[in-house]
Amino acid sequence: MEPSALDIQKSGKLVERQEKVPALLIEQGTCSVSLAYDVAQAIDLDETERRVQAAKQRDQIRHQRRAPRYFEYRPQPLRVSQAVSPFELGPFRSHSAVDLVLYDFGAVSVTYTMPLAGPLADLLALSEELYDNAALLEDSRGRVAALCQVIGPAAVKASIAEFVEDYVIYQIERFTPRVSVGELITVHAQEIAGILRAERSALSAEEVADAVSVRVSYGLQDLAVVDWNAALLLDRQGDDVRAVLEFANVELLEMRYLDDRLDRALDQSYESLSAKSWKPARLLGRHSRELRRISEFQVDSAVLFEQVNNTLKLLGDQYLARVYHMVCQRFHIGEWDSSIIRKLQTLESIYNKIADQAANRRIEVLEWIIIVLITVEILLFL
């Protein structure tokens, strides 16, 4: 159908309006890339601190806004700083230092940072470079493996999982020209959505709306836009928000890792439950081993689940609690929690069924022993 004169006029006005929008320049900012790994069942942070020879400090959230003093990590993770050869990522260059943050529940987060300056449009190329960046993945995994060798027995049941969760945070302090929060998420929404999704092609209106839908502001001049792959902060004092986002990325990793372990445990337990053996002694021994294995796995999983969920306390700071709630919604942490709890309950049900089978087998064996003894006694009497 041929476009009407009115449609052509509206299209021309839209193009003209877009051409009048000035390009935004980043005066100052920082890009943080965090890669989270599960490396052990638990980490003794005090022993690790004694063993690590690199620069280190106990990690805590710096309170840039009003917050009670008891708003801290419990226990505080250990931060280890190491030198690194800078990475060239498009027009940007990373810093010559990398931070490794160790958590007592067995996770390590590796964070690379780089200064940001120049056109906002350059972040699109940067986001594409950072998406599943092979060089950062290889370097971070190598550093985690080397650190595990250094801390040795401080890591309980050390084993680096294949899972890795990466997350990118673009923290921008100032734009030129000055732009309001409202203009940033309306006029420049398409550009921001492309950066957050690492997508160069133009996105649909629905996709753009979804990419910038999870956002929150504390004041009139700050903004946090949280997506599943990256977040954009317009904030001069956003260290506390960035720390919450980085911890949420670690939490997502642990939920994925624990969910996968439970899947494999359920498969093995179901096979044990459905397996048949007609040798009583062998059967009873197998039941005993399976019950011990399932009970140990239940305890380990429950402890890890509680440790991850109770490490960070945010009840004293309403703004950061809102940020944490937002990122949990975007990461579907609630769904992961529900899935893990449901699988733990299923594992408990399988444990009870195997225990019942073992009890029934013991009763049957005892009954047969009694029958044999009675038969022997009768034969001896005759």
Q: Both 104 and 134 in a single domain?
A: yes
Let me know: does 76 contact 125? Beta carbons within 8 Å.
no
Q: Is residue 219 assigned to a domain?
A: yes
Q: Both 262 and 219 in a single domain?
A: no
What is the C-alpha to C-alpha distance for residues 259 and 344, in angstroms, rounded to an integer?
A: 10
Let me know: does 253 contact 144? Beta carbons within 8 Å.
no
- Specify the pLDDT at position 218: 87
Written as tens digits, the pLDDT of the chain (382 aa) is: 444 444 444 444 444 444 456 788 999 999 999 999 999 888 998 888 888 865 456 655 544 444 444 346 677 888 888 889 999 887 899 999 999 999 988 899 999 999 999 999 999 999 999 998 999 999 999 999 999 998 888 998 888 988 899 999 999 998 888 888 888 888 899 999 999 999 988 889 999 999 999 999 888 888 999 999 999 999 888 888 888 899 899 989 988 888 888 888 777 776 766 665 544 544 555 556 766 666 666 666 666 667 666 666 655 568 888 888 888 889 988 888 888 888 878 777 777 777 777 777 778 778 888 888 888 888 888 7
What is the C-alpha to C-alpha distance for residues 290 and 326, in angstroms, rounded to an integer?
A: 41
Q: Is residue 15 assigned to a domain?
A: no
Closest CA to 182 of 234, 135, 142, 131: 234
**DSSP class of 229:** S
Exposure of 273 by Cβ count < 10 A (0-12 exposed, 13-18 middle, 19+ buried)? Answer: middle
The number of distinct structural domains making up the chain is 2
Identify the three-state secondary structure at position 287: helix
Q: Is residue 4 assigned to a domain?
A: no
Closest CA to 241 of 55, 62, 77, 93: 62
Q: Which structural domain, as residue segments, surrounds residue 294? A: 249-381
Q: Both 66 and 130 in a single domain?
A: yes
| 79: β partners | 57, 101
Q: Both 94 and 209 in a single domain?
A: yes
Q: Which stretches of the chain are assigned E, i.e. beta strand?
A: 25-38, 42-43, 55-58, 78-83, 88-89, 92-93, 97-102, 107-119, 155-156, 165-176, 215-216, 223-226, 230-234
